[in-house]
A and B are shown apart, each in its own frame.
Chain A
């Protein structure tokens, strides 16, 4: 995992190096004189060799000194931390909405397989998966912010807002990113529920006289939701860092917006910090997904135990 992070960090340095454009020009603006650009480059240490710059940055990064943003001139760590905090808040609220809706839809659809509710849910989720967030967000702003002034068009929660106000500000962006996620999770849950409904042990349970609701609750869902948990965990990283479009459309101060800005102005130390944080979040959420799958699934657990014993 550490090795991968190092590779990622080298990759970013190399990519920014081959990008066209000059940091000095980007910082000073278009009317900068050549002498001033040179001065800025010297101050940033850009006159040194690439490898020297990388090692210098790396040394600082691992010892906790993330340095200052080139463009903004402020310390990076608190800036990234504040943005990550905002993104995590957003992800938590979004999941609190998305998970119940999608799991319910998937289960209902599987239990009513082939009938009207199933066809409705299945059709809707097929459509939902194809709606990208930049389309849904435009329609949501148009209808629920401009035509009907119910929700603010920007998600920049005002200073000192309470939980209810915060929810009101986050409502539109969350609904905007939901279609793809809800559709995806609902379809996964439906498929796995159907598999479990058709499994031998389900028939055994029914045949031994268990009440149908108990069978579903105790046996079918317990097994059917396992794949869903993996799928959901895989979306965490996306929700925390991949919301570049949504955060820009709704002006939400999350880490995705900061990532875009850092990339646009070639703010290397800021870019490195954000990408490494996001890579770590991605790896962690995959790890958590694996651990959860193990903990919840005795079969995998038994396998692991066996391997350990060997």
Chain B
């Protein structure tokens, strides 16, 4: 019986070999990164149990950022990790009011030259003083074509060198054309103010003037924040610190907030509204916004060149049903234009609401020479496929045969401006002039329907330059009426921005533009 004996002799050796393998695997060069992270976190993060103190420590869930460079931010995940650390010139409130942040007052005579008075006595997280030079450097970087910030696409009216320091605490913007609500544009996600001498790499050089300092950042895993004791607003922030945990997946975020592992979810997708019912310990927070989906129709192709066909399709949509059933009530019915009532200029709009009317739709189709209906392909992507499906089903009785193609998001955005019928979501913009400039002006890149209306463009130019509120409202009313009549795209709802917080959290609100503001937040 040589076999068992020889094996037995070897067993300890084999066991030792196996353990060595495991230990080698566990230790090797890897150790540094992982262990450093663990140790740093251990001393600095109190974890969610750190109650007892005045504000406590909050844990929130967010999508992982792709970059922490504020000027390069392009996703909500980026914003939700950056905003606690930085300040803007102007702060956008939850009702879209413009509040002083680093600028205390602003004015312009003609809408083309804007002067901003800056707050004094503000220091950056590295202790250096905040001055006008920092604003100049930040805006120059934002609009520098070599930097390729997503903001450059919006700030078409500002060039490098257009921002100048009048004195230490006054800055002047010389725009290339009048922009009546320029202060609202300065609330763009990317327009955070960083030190003039900032050297890049925000993850390792997180220097802002915001209510929190970034203490630790582990890409795709977590970040830890500490209250900034020198924050310029007295008594803020109320929390001692925060931790953000990154989730790739919304399903995992939902279970985490339901089980109490996180206190706040910065963004809740509309199709998950049902997962946080009342009384579940989680409150659903919602804020009306101007975010919407557009079903665009190429007006340079048959049969969509005929406004009657476009109106017919718009008449088939039961908007209230989509709002009630697909959005669970967390949306507002819209009237085929981009001027949501959340904009002050659009509050008093008085255009008759387009309601579902299949008979009239059929009649319009007949008049347009399509008694047998219209067939077309409707292309969309990811999560909004369900809305396209709903529209297709509502349109079928009137004679529209719409074939839906749902593509991956990045594939969609490679050819979206060439599609005959397309549907995509547009997030809230801080100025009501922004959506028309981006997607309805003659000939602009993202004018998906290829619609061109000279009167509308003329009004847009006036709106851009108008500073007076009453005048702006009048222009908006005319633009909305044209868009509603011409229907280059069907805009059936404005969706609310949704967040969620556990019942023990107070002082956190959903924000129409998805900003996160934890300055007044407390957790028990």
Contacts and interface: CB of A to CB of B under 8 A. Distances in A.
A78 interface: yes
A28 interface: yes
Given A71-B66, A82-B34, A218-B4, A153 B256 contact: yes
A25 interface: yes
Interface of A: 20-22, 25-36, 39-40, 71-74, 78-79, 81-82, 84-86, 88-89, 92, 141, 145-146, 149, 152-154, 156, 158-160, 218-219, 222-223, 248-251, 253, 257-258, 260-261, 288, 292, 295-296, 298
Nearest to B68: A73
11 contacts: A20-B410, A22-B414, A31-B150, A82-B30, A152-B261, A153-B261, A154-B256, A160-B45, A222-B7, A298-B2, A298-B7
A262 B130 CA distance: 39
B148 A219 contact: no
Interface stretch (B206-214, B241-249, B398-406, B448-456): B241-249
A158 B40 CA distance: 12
Nearest to B22: A92
Contacts of A71: 66
Contacts of B10: 295-296
Contact of A39 (B4, B75, B148): B148
Contact of A81 (B30, B39, B148, B216): B30
B220 A258 contact: yes
Q: Which of B66, B411, B446 has its CB near the most chain A CB atoms (within 10 A)?
A: B66
A245 to B, nearest CB: 11
B155 to A, nearest CB: 12
A82 B446 CA distance: 41
The majority secondary structure among interface residues of chain A is: helix
A75 B339 CA distance: 44
Interface string B18-46: 00011001101111111001111111010
B270 to A, nearest CB: 18
Interface of B: 1-4, 6-8, 10, 14, 21-22, 25-26, 28-34, 37-43, 45, 47, 66-67, 74-75, 145-146, 148, 150, 152-153, 203, 216, 219-222, 224, 245, 247-249, 251-252, 255-256, 258-261, 408-411, 413-414, 424, 445-446
Nearest to A43: B148
Contacts of A86: 34
Given A248-B252, A295-B14, A32 B150 contact: yes
Contacts of A288: 21
A160 B14 contact: no
Nearest to A205: B1
Contacts of A29: 74-75, 150
A153 B259 contact: yes
Contacts of B34: 81-82, 85-86
A152 B259 contact: yes
A159 B222 CA distance: 9
A245 B8 CA distance: 40
Contact of B3 (A152, A222, A257, A295): A222
Contacts of A298: 2-3, 6-7
Contacts of B148: 28, 35-36, 39-40
Contacts of A249: 249, 251-252
A218 B146 CA distance: 74
A40 B67 CA distance: 14
B252 A25 contact: no
A30 B416 CA distance: 10
Given A33-B445, A35-B145, A36-B153, A153 B252 contact: yes
